[in-house]
Structure 1
Amino acid sequence: MGLVCSTAQLACLCGSAACSFCCSQCPSCRNSTSTRIMYALLLLLGTIAACITLAPGLQNVLKKVPFCANSSSYVPSDVTLDCDSAVGYLAVYRICFILSLYFFLMSVIMIRVKSSHDPRAPIQNGFWAIKYLLIIGGMIGAFFIPEKSFGSTWMYFGMLGGFLFIIIQLILIVDFAHSWADAWVGNFEETESKGWYAALLGASFFNYVVSITGVVLLYVYYTHESTCALNKFFISFNLILCVITSIVSVLPTVQEHQPRSGLLQSSVVTLYVVYLTWSGISNSPDQQCNPGFLGIFAGNDAQNRVTFDKESIIGLIIWFSCVLYSSLRTASKSSKITMSENVLVQDNGADYTTVEGRNPDAESGNDAKVWDNEEEKVAYNWSFFHLMFALATLYVMMTLTNWYKPNSSLDTLNANAASMWVKIISSWMCLTLYVWSLIAPAVFPNRDFS
């Protein structure tokens, strides 16, 4: 429903007639939801634009453009551009620079906004055409920034911001695991249906089977009998940590303070840690121990021939899933344990009621299609929301460039130690955060986590 309402808001970029038509066709939804999805869509479109600049054939296409300085069909003109800067790592850096700068600026503007009655509220929830035009214009202007030290300097900001977003992403994944288990265990307790019990067991069993299969494949393809000691350590150590975490989740003390804690959450976290382990060792600079995604199926000849590795694609899918989850998810008691109250939407008790003239664009009954549920107080921290999206943009930038030093040419994304350690440390942080969410109620029994 929120996505449909956001589509109606997007139609407002084309004029009031398109906006009125789309709003009349979609169901009512909360303004806090539709606005967040619109910003998620903006972030997704920026990511797609950055991905296009890494397309293998784009550089060859630009060599045929007459106004490019290095064009094969160059025509003398007053306007000449160095089209090499329009592709490769630096192109991604320039696009993400403008997008993250926009979100950082919005974060500063929205500090201490308490309700939609604040004069700054229209900037948050409206002016979509102006916002998109400003961002597009900024991205075009970013390509005129002199190269010099721009790439190397912005890379350090990207590494810091990307790592901070990884922490937020881990919080959202742990929160998702708790929320999933709370919902299914709650349904089982209310209905005592064997179907819900079978679903709990089946989902947990499936996640563990996939995780074990993944670990076996990692040993087969990413280790050798006498070499690859570091890969063996990462795989074995993370496997041991996952087993310990699963045991902790069913300990009597943990069950006493969290009756709904169990193997379903642990299986989700274990599966994600196995993915992070694979993503980490697949970025190992040791080519002997890293066959690459295509190398597993096509032999060593396919190693490092692609310009955008499959691990990054999966990482971006998980990234956008977390962003969309944070845009739609309503905070519950699990958000207190995982420290995600500022990220998720709070239920402020504002229900839709018909108000005459509330939305003049609605064509029937003057009912609001995208209605304001933040007249008393905001449903989420607007400033922190934009800060999270700014960090998400930096995470995208570093993921697309494989956490590697930028240059203006479209080189292949070679595996490197920086990317490997970021993923491995992320897996340890994920397990630490999940274990903390299990033992926190027992460590602080006087604190209200309900």
Structure 2
Amino acid sequence: MCTPCCISQLACCCGSAACSCCCNCCPKIKQSTSTRIMYALYFLLVTVVCAVMMSPTVEQELKNKVPYYSDVCKKVGARENCGMLVGYSAVYKVCFGMACFFLFFFLLTLRLNNSLGWRAAVHNGFWLPKFILLVACCVGGFFIPGEGGYEQMFLKVWRYIGAVGGFIFLLIQLMLLVEFAHRWNTNWSSGVKYNRLWYAALALVTLVLFSVALGALVFMGLFYTHPEACLLNKALLGINGTLCFIISLLAISPCIQKLQPTSGLLQPGVISLYVMYLTFSAFSSKPKEFHMVAALNTTVCVFPFNSGNESDKKIVTIVGAIILVGCVLYSCLTSTTRRSSAALRVCRNSEPETERARCCFCFGDDTDEYDEEKSGGGQNVVYDEQEGTIYSYCYFHFVFFLGSLYVMMTVTNWFHYNNHEIEKLLDGSWSVFWIKMVSCWVCLALYLGTLVAPMICPKRFEA
């Protein structure tokens, strides 16, 4: 049992075979899914390395527990206490290497529409050489000469490239959220005519979404405002709450229902909840404010998590990091499907006559039949790309390229990176605050665009 599995894993690492688990009890996996998961694991590994590089806690632990830590750092040329391997400049160089890795594969897979050529074989296999290439790219950034100001020039230029790429990735992420809301409603609505329980599920989820969004609005009104201060917070809460209410009314208005019969309250519920999350995240990223309240100069407009309790701040930081990684991976893995790509081009891609209501609608329909291949007693692999590619290879790598820039800017707190620490991600900066707040309005504008676009350009949205 072990020998055939080891041979199959060797073929995966050094050949064009698809990767699979050695465990026989694992469900079958598609080759296209296996490939995207492997690239996502590479991406996640580098993201964790970047977070570690921005953590002085980890650096201190290494100093305390690794014998002759400083001497080893000097011998490998990483300066005293490995100062070259920590901080925002190290993250910039590592993310530069990861971005170059995905940009290389983007160029390699341009105009690739089948999985039979050597380029497709490189994309779907040879994971060990690709891992070595990724490590070499990330390490290569540290060999940029520091003399003559080349390193500072590189960091300055790469910062602005990262800001542009990160903003584009953020737009893709918001567009995918809008597409996700529409797809969720369309999929579950298709099951109503066969089983009325789907209607009950739609109503229940919609009620929960709006309840949580309204609760979040009240929560922020209580903890992020003050009767004598926090005018900006009050105004933004009022604006975002009003906009969410307006798009909810528009979604069920007769003029919208006439052109989009499946439009309902589920989509604005998803959008409203995400807007409330972004608003909360923006308020958490806002610098602390000091006002005279009751003749005392005190901190206001901040939640108790931000008031100095380190254990609470660590919990919020961990939760925020999990949400960040989840959003990035979801955007990278789903934006290259045919349905999502069509949504990003703003055209109709739903197929109501073939839509089948499912709880796990995000991960595609597993009813399609493809050839299976036994993996030496391990997990079965479904080769689903024999007749053509399921997703765009080059666009897949381009999204990961943008995701690399987005992670770089997020981990280094965008433009306020000097002396920034990953543990102090919630201490706040105005750049992060306004980026998240503008994201709220962009998300609302994108959803509003999907509602009114069929009225403006009806031919583009004809089935």
Structure 2 length as normaliser, TM-score?
A: 0.80
- Correspondence for 2:400: 389
Q: Which amino acid aligns with 1:209?
A: S
- CA–CA distance in 2 between the matches of 1:350 and 1:264? 28
Matched, 1:232 2:245: no
Matched, 1:113 2:112: yes
Equivalent position to 1:277, from 249, 274, 279: 279
Q: What secondary structure does 2:459 align onto?
A: coil
Matched, 1:427 2:445: no
Conservation of the 8 A alpha-carbon contact between 1:116 and 1:374 = yes
Deviations 1:255-281 (A, max 9, x none): 111111100111000000111111122
Change (3 A) 1:377 1:11: closer
- CA–CA distance in 2 between the matches of 1:298 and 1:406? 19
Shift of 1:288: 3.7
Matched, 1:52 2:70: no
- CA–CA distance in 2 between the matches of 1:227 and 1:419? 22
Q: Which amino acid aligns with 1:352?
A: Y
Matched, 1:446 2:446: no
- CA–CA distance in 2 between the matches of 1:372 and 1:16? 12
- Correspondence for 2:411: 400
Change (3 A) 1:302 1:30: closer
Conservation of the 8 A alpha-carbon contact between 1:177 and 1:269 = yes
- Correspondence for 1:96: 95
Q: What secondary structure does 1:227 align onto?
A: coil
Equivalent position to 1:184, from 178, 188, 206: 188
Greater Cα offset, 392-401 or 270-279: 392-401
Q: What secondary structure does 1:190 align onto?
A: coil
Conservation of the 8 A alpha-carbon contact between 2:54 and 2:87 = yes
Shift of 1:40: 1.6
Q: What secondary structure does 2:460 align onto?
A: coil
Q: What secondary structure does 2:394 align onto?
A: helix
Change (3 A) 1:46 1:316: same
1:39-438 equivalent positions in 2, closer than 5 A: 39-63=39-63, 71=70, 74=71, 79-82=76-79, 83-145=82-144, 146=146, 147-191=151-195, 193=196, 195-288=197-290, 296-297=304-305, 299-300=307-308, 309=317, 312-313=320-321, 315-320=323-328, 322-323=330-331, 326=334, 331=339, 335=343, 338=346, 351-353=369-371, 362-363=375-376, 369-407=380-418, 410=421, 412-413=424-425, 414-438=427-451
Q: Tell me the number of residue pairs that the alignment of Structure 1 and Structure 2 aligns.
A: 427
Shift of 1:424: 1.0
- CA–CA distance in 1 between the matches of 2:330 and 2:176? 6
Shift of 1:443: 2.1
Conservation of the 8 A alpha-carbon contact between 1:23 and 1:369 = no
Q: CA RMSD in A?
A: 3.9
- CA–CA distance in 1 between the matches of 2:315 and 2:168? 26
- CA–CA distance in 2 between the matches of 1:115 and 1:262? 39
- Correspondence for 1:32: 32
Shift of 1:112: 0.7
Q: Which amino acid aligns with 2:370?
A: Y
Q: Which amino acid aligns with 2:176?
A: L
Structure 1 length as normaliser, TM-score?
A: 0.82
The percentage of counterpart residues that share the same residue type is 37
Gaps of 5+ in 2: 1-7, 292-298, 350-361
Q: Which amino acid aligns with 1:419?
A: V
Gaps of 5+ in 1: 1-7
Q: Which amino acid aligns with 1:127?
A: F
Q: Which amino acid aligns with 2:172?
A: I
Conservation of the 8 A alpha-carbon contact between 2:24 and 2:379 = no
Conservation of the 8 A alpha-carbon contact between 1:346 and 1:380 = no
Shift of 1:292: 8.8
